[in-house]
Structure formats: structure tokens, C-alpha cells
Amino acid sequence: MLSRRLGELCHEKYLEKMSFNQKAVYGLLEKAVERLLDSDLKKTHQTGLFRVDPKKLHHDLLLTEIYLKLKNLGEVENLKTHNDIIFEEGNEFYKIKIPDSLFQTKNKKMALELEITAKAMNRYKHIFTQYYSNQKIDAVLYLVESAFLKEKLLEIEKTVFGFAQRKIFVGNIHDFLKDSLQTPFFSSKNKILLLSKI
């Protein structure tokens, strides 16, 4: 019933059906926005805030899959999304970068970052410094798609923090979505962290 109605809305040019990772995603088209009664919403659409950035969409959909995986792990407690953190703690605590997620295992408080595209080295230096100075976070798990980005993150951490105890661990997003507990997260000291072991 729902798929038929969505199909009709697409046919009538109210919605546009897109595909992401073999899943359907629907976006509002101009005709649908014109039918909305809320003039503020129409104004927002006219200013371009409704435009879909494919990279951001890719990031947000992967992040949703990650949240669902973490939520279903018995080893994970007190899972907070990016928006939960803003709502509960404000953005004062994380002046440079609010994590994509925070959660606890039985022994550690973890931050999680989904990194799809590389940032500038100075940006990473600031972010890593923030995490290293935050005593409430024991480790930061970065999930990446490419080996290049994994190596870049680990090299920056090694360059900036030398022989300090490692806080940054990097794993592959696709491995994580297949088997979250057994995905290896690597540090620049070649230490391996598994969610099943912490």
C-alpha cells in the first residue's frame, strides 16, 4: 500500500525516488513544496536548504546503519547520537568537533567518527588535540572506507602525538557493517582494538 502511494507521488512529480546502497530514498520536488501550507518551509526551500548533497546523504545513511548496529550490540551502553550530544551537553564541551556518536562499553567511554572524505591536516590536528585533552573519552573509533584515509589518520596522529598512549583507532566501515564485534580498529602503534574485547 505504502509503496503504491509513494509510486503515485513520484509519478505526479511530488517526490523523486533515489537509490542508495540498494535502498529507496525519497526527496521532495518543487511541486510538493508548493503544496505545503507552511510559508517558512517554502522560504527555506527557496533559499536552497532542501538541496541534497550526495556526500552528506551517503554519510548520514551510513551513520544511521552504524547507529542501528551499535544499538543492537549487548556490549554497548548509553549510545548517544550526534544530536543527542548537542541536546544533552551543548556544543560548548566539544568546541572543535562534536562526535558522530558516544557510547560506553563495560570498561571504556568511546567516541565514534564516520570519516568519508579527508579533511586538511591542520583540522585533524585540532580535532585529535581536542580528543586527547578530553579525559572523559578513552578512545576514538574512526570508520573509513579507504586504506588511504586510514593511513592518513594514523600518520597524523603519530606525527602530532609521538609516543603518547594512543587514543585514535581506525577501522573499515564495510567490515564494521558486516561484523561489528570482530572488526579490527588499528592504532598507529599497530595495537588492535575489537569491540568484543573491551
Residue 48 pLDDT level (bands cut at 50, 70, 90): low
57-197, CATH topology level: Trna Endonuclease; Chain: A, domain 1 (3.40.1350)
pLDDT for 85 equals 83
Q: Is 13 left (phi over 0), alpha (psi -120 to 50) or beta?
A: left
Contact yes or no for 85/109 (Cβ under 8 A): no
User: Percent of the chain beyond pLDDT 90?
Assistant: 34
Task: Please state the domain extents for the chain.
Answer: 2-52, 57-197
3-state secondary structure 16-49: EEEEECCEEEEEECHHHHHHCCCHHHHHHHHCCC
* 85-126: pLDDT as tens digits: 887 876 565 666 789 999 999 889 999 999 998 999 999 999
For residues 134 and 105, is the Cβ–Cβ distance under 8 A?
no
Alpha-carbon span 16 to 28, nearest angstrom: 6
Name the more confident of 90 and 65.
Answer: 65
